[in-house]
Amino acid sequence: MSATPTTTVDYGRAESPVQVIEVNNLRKGFGTEDVLMNVSLKLFNGENLVVLGKSGSGKSVLIKCIVRLLDPDEGTIKVFGEDVSTLNQFELGELRKKIGFLFQSGALYDSMTVKQNLEFPLRRIKRDLNQKEINEKVEEVLENVGLPDTLDKMPSQLSGGMRKRISLARTLMIDPSIMLYDEPTTGLDPVTSDEISTLINAVQKKYKTSSIIITHDIECARTTADRVIMLLNGEVYMEGELTEFEKSTDTSIKSFFK
């Protein structure tokens, strides 16, 4: 069952959407077990693509393959037209500068303060910036995620929602063109989840990013999705707009939207 959108679909951000990510026939397994089987998807410029699926359906594996934290067993992944699997370390590093990745756990460096966490990638990627410019950038991104007073705090002093925001701020330090969110609202209360979902939209608007949002939180999908893909047993089960999913009579999909 599939409702694949055509490339002429306009999500209100571009007249003729350009593909920024193209995944073709991706297969990834661990040991004898296949987690992803023949997965294909496209992410267009300026859209929010939500990937829904139960735990263990391979959602996180999918985006880890996109940034080559994991190597696919079969299939191709193109980001901005470049085949990720053929890039050398330098080329991969250059490509990763255009991609922001929000980890499920936040993955803040726990031996560093919030300020040091934010400065860490910027100091190494844009070595020509002086301290004043770095400070301005840090203040700007903290303002954007709504946590301007946390500069000197350690990650252990932050709540779950704050950690997610700071982690998002860290990815924004390098002005990414693509954002990959791995379960951005998991483990958060409904109010904070809603704030994070709103923040995802705000980031997309301000930084003009294209995003893949991995989630099983329907409210998050409702707030952020331009288009939705549902993974089931490692395969794309359905693709389309959220309203199509909500109207679906398929039991697997209905059970998700209860």
Partner 1 sequence: MKIIIPVTKVKKVATERSIRIVEKTIARTVEAGNFLTNIADGFLFVTRVAKETFSRNFEFKEFMRQCYQIGNKSLPLISVTGLIIGVVLTIQMRPALVSFGAVSMLPGMVAISLIREMGPVITALICAGKISSGMGAELGSMRVSEQIDAMEVSSVNPFKYLVVTRVLAATLMIPLLVLYADALGILGCWAGANIKGDVTFVLFASQAFGHIGFNDLMPAIIKTFFFGAVIGIVGCYKGYTAGRGTESVGIAANSAVVLASLLVIIIDLIAVQITDML
- Contacting residues toward partner 1, per CB under 8 A: 64, 67, 69, 93-94, 96-97, 99, 101, 103-105, 107-110, 120-121, 124-125, 127, 170-171, 174
Our CB check for partner 1 shows the closer of 41 and 122 to be 122
Tokens 């990745």 found at:
101
Our CB check for partner 1 shows the closer of 171 and 185 to be 171
The distance of closest approach from Cβ of residue 240 to partner 1 in the complex, given in angstroms and rounded to an integer, is 29
Our CB check for partner 1 shows the closer of 90 and 243 to be 90
Say if residues 215 and 185 touch (Cβ distance below 8 Å).
yes
The distance of closest approach from Cβ of residue 164 to partner 1 in the complex, given in angstroms and rounded to an integer, is 13
Our CB check for partner 1 shows the closer of 2 and 105 to be 105
| Phi, psi of 115, rounded to the nearest 5 degrees | -60, -45
The distance of closest approach from Cβ of residue 127 to partner 1 in the complex, given in angstroms and rounded to an integer, is 8
Where would I find the beta strands (DSSP E) of 147-226?
178-182, 210-215
Our CB check for partner 1 shows the closer of 14 and 125 to be 125
Our CB check for partner 1 shows the closer of 171 and 197 to be 171
Candidates 144, 102, 138, 97; CA nearest to 118 is 138
C-alpha count within 13 angstroms, C-beta hemisphere, residue 92: 14
Q: Which residues on adjacent β-strands are paired with residue 28?
A: 36
The distance of closest approach from Cβ of residue 29 to partner 1 in the complex, given in angstroms and rounded to an integer, is 16
Helix, strand or coil, per DSSP, at residue 181:
strand
The distance of closest approach from Cβ of residue 199 to partner 1 in the complex, given in angstroms and rounded to an integer, is 19
Cβ neighbors of 79 (< 8 A, separation 6 or more) are 20, 21, 66, 95, 98, 99, 178
The distance of closest approach from Cβ of residue 70 to partner 1 in the complex, given in angstroms and rounded to an integer, is 10
Q: Are strands 82-83 and 99-102 parallel, antiparallel or unpaired?
A: unpaired
